[in-house]
Amino acid sequence: METFIASNGLRVVLAPSPTNTVYLGIAIAAGTRNEEEGESGMAHFAEHLSFKGTERRTSRQIISRMESVGGDLNAFTGKEETVYYCTCQREHFARAMDLLFDVVFNSTYPQEEMNKEVEVVIDEIESYKDSPSELIYDDFEAMLFQGHPLGRNILGDAERLRQFQTEDVLNYIHRLYTADRAVLFVYGNVDAKEVKRRIPQNLPSAPSSQVTTIQKSLPKREAQRKVVNKETHQAHVMMGAQAYGGSNKNHLALFMANNILGGPGLSSRLNLALREKRGLVYTVESTLTTYTDTGVWAVYFGCDREDVERCKRLVKRELMRLCEAPLSDRALKAAKQQIIGQISMSYDNFESVAIGMGKRMLHYGKTQTREDFVARIQNITAEDIWVAAKEVFNPEALSILEYK
């Protein structure tokens, strides 16, 4: 893996690929938490609009540029970043680089396209409302980070979106879409000389007078309870708390504890307790969402209304098991073996590896190979996991959101 900083301040990270396919993209430190007051939903809306025309290309030309050679161009918005990424065969790398930089840094955001695209985004918002098992994740974060930009819904709200004008989007873009806030990532058999040659020299830089990151103190970690009447057939419940940020030394131990508790395997403790042994749920999982300075850990399950309290008690019982005492040597070894296997297989998803590589450089200024990750897992002790569990999984300090 190789890293360097281009003459215009753009950070670059490269890694070789075992295939002829190249995965590349631009990650920008411009997410929901970087929106100013009155800009709710702007990060995601700007991402959509970046595909609607540049100084050189129409929206149709942008869409067909990579698809015509079998490639793909896409993007997504998170709470702390927006990522534009492309997949292509090695021979079309130059085409992909040119298109990426054009879309990210030269889009024009025409008003007529905004007027059309806003309805597409509003349809996206409404579709989430029809899926309580997805909506509850956003609502839980909104409850946990109430009054903080991290609590905002990435999609925004319809009323505010319809008020945005081209000038509003350009103000947001000029403030945040700058070379010093971006990372170019390339996962493929491309050498650094070629990458350097194809990076435009004249990329936007940050005006010296601007504030580019919304820094606001995080709300206190106080337990909250909320019940929302959704009139759904099934009850949906989330139980959780604020967690460690990605820079916290205990983050990886918490990652392991979460995997033991309710990770993707059917042998997770929550799945065994609620589904396999008692048949109370179809889905139960625990998730860990990590931001740079904080995180969200939560358990989700859906069940019959009359089983909600019983399921909550069972979840708390499993939490107590991890909080009361460290894992045995045998349990620790099994947990490490499982998570190392999961990590190793995840590296076969090359697109995900490339995006992860870019985001890690963007937020933490460093890279991490699979071998590095595995070595860090191997160094975690049973006491590390126990400490993390006691600090985050405390059953008496959980925030709870219920859809009934």
- The CATH number linked to 30 is 3.30.830.10
Select from 365, 370, 366, 379 the least CA-distant residue to 350: 370
* Residue 220 belongs to some domain of the structure: no
* Residue 206 belongs to some domain of the structure: no
Q: Any idea which residue has 């600090």 for tokens?
A: 391
Residues 299 and 243: beta-carbon distance below 8 Å: no
Domain limit, last residue, from 182, 198, 214: 198
* Residue 207 belongs to some domain of the structure: no
Residues 126, 242: one domain? Answer: no
Residues present in the chain in total: 404
d(Cα 52, Cα 64) in Å, to the nearest integer? 12
Query: What's 189's DSSP letter?
Result: S
Residues 187, 275: one domain? Answer: no
Q: What range does the domain containing 75 cover?
A: 2-198
* Residue 213 belongs to some domain of the structure: no
Residues 174, 231: one domain? Answer: no
For the beta carbon of residue 41, count every other beta carbon within 10 angstroms. Answer: 24
Query: Total domain count for the chain?
Result: 2
Residues 174, 233: one domain? Answer: no
Residues 10, 80: one domain? Answer: yes
* Residue 118 belongs to some domain of the structure: yes
Per-residue pLDDT for the chain (404 aa), expressed as one digit of tens each?
999 999 999 999 999 999 999 999 999 999 999 999 899 999 999 999 999 999 999 999 999 999 999 999 999 999 999 999 999 999 999 999 999 999 999 999 999 999 999 999 999 999 988 899 999 999 999 999 998 999 999 999 999 999 999 999 999 999 999 999 999 999 999 999 999 999 998 888 866 544 444 556 676 667 999 999 988 889 999 999 999 999 999 999 999 999 999 998 889 999 999 999 999 999 999 999 999 999 999 999 999 999 999 999 999 999 999 999 999 999 999 999 999 999 999 999 999 999 999 999 999 999 999 999 999 999 999 999 999 999 999 999 999 999 98
Cα dihedral 141, 144, 146, 147 in deg (nearest 10): -100
Residues 264, 395: one domain? Answer: yes
Residues 128 and 155: beta-carbon distance below 8 Å: yes
d(Cα 177, Cα 167) in Å, to the nearest integer? 15
* Residue 356 belongs to some domain of the structure: yes
* Residue 258 belongs to some domain of the structure: yes
Residues 154, 232: one domain? Answer: no
Residues 161, 304: one domain? Answer: no
Residues 254, 386: one domain? Answer: yes
Angle between helices 42-49 and 166-176 (to 10 degrees): 100
* Residue 212 belongs to some domain of the structure: no
